[in-house]
Chain A
Amino acid sequence: MMKDSEILLFAKNKKLPMVQRHFLILFLSSLLGACGSENPEQKTSLLNAPYPTQTGGTLMGAMPSDPSSLIFMVAGESASSAITANLFNSLLTYDQNLDLAGELAESWQVSPDQKTLTFHLKPGLVWADGHPLTSEDVFFTWQAIIDEKTRSPYASDYQLVTKAETPDKLTFVVHYDEAFSPSLDSWAGLQILPKHKLAGQDLHTTSFAQKPLGSHYYQLKEWRHGEYIKLEKNPKSVLGPANIDHLVERIIPDPGAQFLELMADNIDSLSMDPITYARIIPSRPELQAWLNQYESLGNSYTYLGFNLKRQPFKDIRIRKAINLAIDKQEIIDGVYLGLGEQIASPYKPGTRWSNPELKPYPFDPQQARSLLAEAGYKDSDGDGILEKDGKKLSFEVLTNHGNKEREKTAVIIQRRLKEVGIEIRIRTIEWASFITRFIKTGDFDAVVLGWQLGLEPDQFGIWHSSQQKPGQFNFIGYNNPKVDQLLERGRREFDPDKRMHIYHQFAEVLYEDSPIVYLSAGYNLTAIHKRVRGIMDPVPPAGVGYDSQKWYLPMPLRRTQIQAE
């Protein structure tokens, strides 16, 4: 076939066949390249050989959607923070063990009355354009986030600041009405923006949101909407330059398509679900040969939450019985393929805030049955479902549509509760109407949901009895004066050890009350190409991405760059 066409083309034009042949070679080599042009053993030994740290190269990643803005306080979405975390610095940060450390700030002090925080900036900080970064920029950023016009979802913590001052270019002082210990965390979360670029502009409409200027390891090079975002090393980075020259985040909405791109070696790192991580990759040795897999406990948990304003959940015995009737390990094994942990307090296990004394509720259907009997429920009509005063012990569990893990969790719970005589109906609802129609109105029996936690132990918003208004986070209606008091104390205490003690007590009261059933804390699962070196092993508590500026790409392993002539 090829030959015929070659002859045909030859007859017409002498030059063409060469081109044709080149195309063919290119085409063939790209085909071969996909199956591994070098011999596989050689390739494996190349991949596993040690290499010294070196700079340069491009790291490819994928994210599910385009950020709406690269000013995080305005966008407030994970797609935005995934990029801005590489562009902007905060005053404080968390170190690898999740303790507070300085980033732009060299040091910070809490005044004796605990109402004033003083930050001392590192000297000689500059923006990527060379303009000096001073306390003026910090002050400007604080003003921007508390500005009504900014409408930032994160404004509340900063609105508590009664007065902010900049006595000199390297000092930033904030005053509070009363001691507020979560404030330190809030200053680790505020990405400092450049005043000289943004002064007098509307953060919602400014072109800066598409073409930002930061101070961190990278700066924006190119953004093709819906295609990719390319970041370039910032040589003036306030924390010293990173090793890798370019970061490219490709926008790939579908996780399946993201995984296909990983398999085709078009991206270097990908976070994934348990099935892909623990089933698909291990079933393909050729993938395992060039992928490193990392798992680390995430800072979130899934729970079954009861509407405590409704019957039968006002009765603690019912809540405890349900807790005992659910086999959490079964959920971890079935839904997360064992890649998760049982928890007994609303904090990441292993951190100082998690109470090590508390052990997860055991799976004990026998005790669950006796608690239900004690509460007056028995199966009088023989249909397998318990009743009390002619009313069946039956309720509806809601979860958001499209979250397969939560849906599966609900099915497992349904099965287990049926065994002790409780009937549940599962209903999955699309997220927006789930929140507006059911959560905000409090019109639900029980929910399977998750909490993504920050690194700050204060959970005032979730558990304090004052936080039950529509749109607030205590939508299950939890009300316990003891917990209220502990949460209030925790917010006033700066001493980490005393705080730890408070939050341990808080977790203990929750444990006894069982207002929610802790189901599992899942792992963050990531696969990264072996060409990426310098990744901290074992994974520190801060996660696999910690210190990623030290990652490097050894020259022989870099993706071949095809250059246009």
Chain B
Amino acid sequence: MKKILQNPLALTGLCLIIVILALALLAPWLAPYDPDAIHVKQILLAPSTQHWMGTDGLGRDVWSRMLYGGRVSLLVGLVAVGISTLTGVVLGALAGYYRGWVDTFIMRLVDIMLSIPSFFLILAVIAFLSPSITNVMIVIGLTSWMGITRLVRAEFLSITQREFVMASTALGAQDWRVIFKHCLPNSLTPVIVSVVLGIASAVLLESGLSFLGLGVQAPQASWGNILTDGKEYIQFAWWLSLYPGLAILITVLGYNLLGEGLRDVFDPRSNNAR
């Protein structure tokens, strides 16, 4: 932990994320207006003391919508990555521990999944199901676990050869005990980095989908669909595009910085070098 705080990259990332998370979590208390309240007499007002980030095409307060939209974007990011991590770790552990045909089967599955451009896969699946926040989370989760599977499998391949694992197997420990008590805890370090980076790309994916109208549906706000609304008025209502754009940028940057920082911290080679 101390090392993390000493790493400037990780620290900056962490600060950005904490700020964004805090704003999103405190949205109900921070938002000055109901994010869905329509005021047709106050359409597209420029930022002012009353509306810090102006109002949108239906007279809704953009600052309030940004706060609530942040909740959606971050929730989607976290849940999607939760799903992909769980899937990835379980499959990677199975492949790395049992090897043989289990390994072959899982790794070919990974290859197949990786060979399909994931954004188009997501678009296709969402078009089949109806677009909704739950579907978006599940679909993003189920199309981004492959990297983690590979990482975990690789770790398992080397860890299962180590003495303490062999000892435990020799003592007659059951498979699940060896996997969960010995192998997993020792292979999670690279996974953590990958998870943090994964959140960044999930937030970006969600924004992209919402931008295309396939993500979070009206009236619920998300950064992506605020940005879509802004596209229409970009010539004169810059605030509708700038703020959600910035929010996405800062969040993604935050997670990426933290991820990179963590990688430096965890990587023994870079530690020695310093």
Interface residues on A, range: 20 to 34
Bound-complex Cα distance A404 to B228 (A)? 10
Binary interface profile of B, 79-110, with partner A (CB < 8 Å = 1, else 0)? 00000000000000000000000000000000
Binary interface profile of B, 218-245, with partner A (CB < 8 Å = 1, else 0)? 1100000000000011111000000000
Bound-complex Cα distance A407 to B56 (A)? 14
Residues of A within 8 A of B217 (CB): 425-427
Is the CB–CB distance between B36 and A334 below 8 Å?
A: no
Query: Counting CB contacts under 8 A, is A411 at the interface?
Result: yes
CB distance from B232 to the nearest CB of A (A): 6
Bound-complex Cα distance A408 to B60 (A)? 12
Is the CB–CB distance between A334 and B235 below 8 Å?
A: no
Is the CB–CB distance between B40 and A410 below 8 Å?
A: no
Query: Counting CB contacts under 8 A, is B184 at the interface?
Result: no
Which of B41, B130, B219, B233 is A411 in contact with, Cβ under 8 Å?
Answer: B219
Query: Counting CB contacts under 8 A, is A358 at the interface?
Result: no
Bound-complex Cα distance A256 to B213 (A)? 20
CB distance from B103 to the nearest CB of A (A): 41
Which of B43, B131, B219, B233 is A415 in contact with, Cβ under 8 Å?
Answer: B219
State whether A279 and B236 are in contact (beta carbons under 8 Å apart), knowing that A401-B213, A428-B213 are contacts in the complex: yes
Query: Counting CB contacts under 8 A, is A337 at the interface?
Result: yes
CB distance from A403 to the nearest CB of B (A): 11
State whether A427 and B130 are in contact (beta carbons under 8 Å apart), knowing that A333-B41, A334-B59, A408-B57 are contacts in the complex: yes
Bound-complex Cα distance A410 to B58 (A)? 11
Residues of A within 8 A of B233 (CB): 275
Query: Counting CB contacts under 8 A, is B25 at the interface?
Result: no
Residues of A within 8 A of B41 (CB): 333
Bound-complex Cα distance A334 to B43 (A)? 7
Bound-complex Cα distance A516 to B159 (A)? 68
Residues of B within 8 A of A412 (CB): 38, 40, 58
Bound-complex Cα distance A414 to B219 (A)? 8
Smallest Cβ-Cβ distance to B130: which chain A residue: A427
Smallest Cβ-Cβ distance to A280: which chain B residue: B236
Query: Counting CB contacts under 8 A, is A283 at the interface?
Result: yes
CB distance from A270 to the nearest CB of B (A): 14
Number of interface residues of B (CB under 8 A): 21
Query: Counting CB contacts under 8 A, is B44 at the interface?
Result: yes
Smallest Cβ-Cβ distance to B131: which chain A residue: A427
Residues of A within 8 A of B44 (CB): 275, 279
Smallest Cβ-Cβ distance to B236: which chain A residue: A280
Bound-complex Cα distance A279 to B40 (A)? 14
Is the CB–CB distance between B236 and A334 below 8 Å?
A: no
Smallest Cβ-Cβ distance to B233: which chain A residue: A275
- List which A331-366 residues lie within 8 A (CB) of chain B: 333-334, 337
Residues of B within 8 A of A275 (CB): 44, 57, 232-233
Smallest Cβ-Cβ distance to B219: which chain A residue: A411
Query: Counting CB contacts under 8 A, is A330 at the interface?
Result: yes
Binary interface profile of A, 81-97, with partner B (CB < 8 Å = 1, else 0)? 00000000000000000
- List which B23-47 residues lie within 8 A (CB) of chain A: 36-38, 40-41, 43-44
CB distance from A503 to the nearest CB of B (A): 32
State whether A283 and B236 are in contact (beta carbons under 8 Å apart), knowing that A411-B58, A427-B130 are contacts in the complex: yes
Which interface residue of B43, B218, B233 has the most chain A CB atoms within 10 A? B218
- List which B127-161 residues lie within 8 A (CB) of chain A: 130-131
Is the CB–CB distance between A334 and B130 below 8 Å?
A: no
A sample of 20 inter-chain contacts (CB < 8 A) reads A256-B234, A259-B235, A275-B57, A275-B232, A279-B44, A330-B40, A333-B40, A333-B41, A334-B59, A337-B43, A408-B57, A408-B58, A411-B38, A411-B218, A411-B219, A415-B36, A426-B219, A427-B130, A427-B131, A428-B213
Closest A-B pairs by Cβ, 9 of them: A334-B40, A333-B40, A411-B218, A426-B218, A330-B40, A415-B38, A411-B219, A280-B236, A334-B58
List 19 additional A-B contacts (Cβ < 8 Å) besides A414-B218, A415-B38. A275-B57, A283-B236, A330-B38, A333-B40, A333-B41, A334-B58, A337-B43, A401-B213, A404-B232, A408-B57, A411-B38, A411-B218, A412-B38, A415-B219, A425-B217, A426-B217, A426-B218, A427-B217, A428-B213
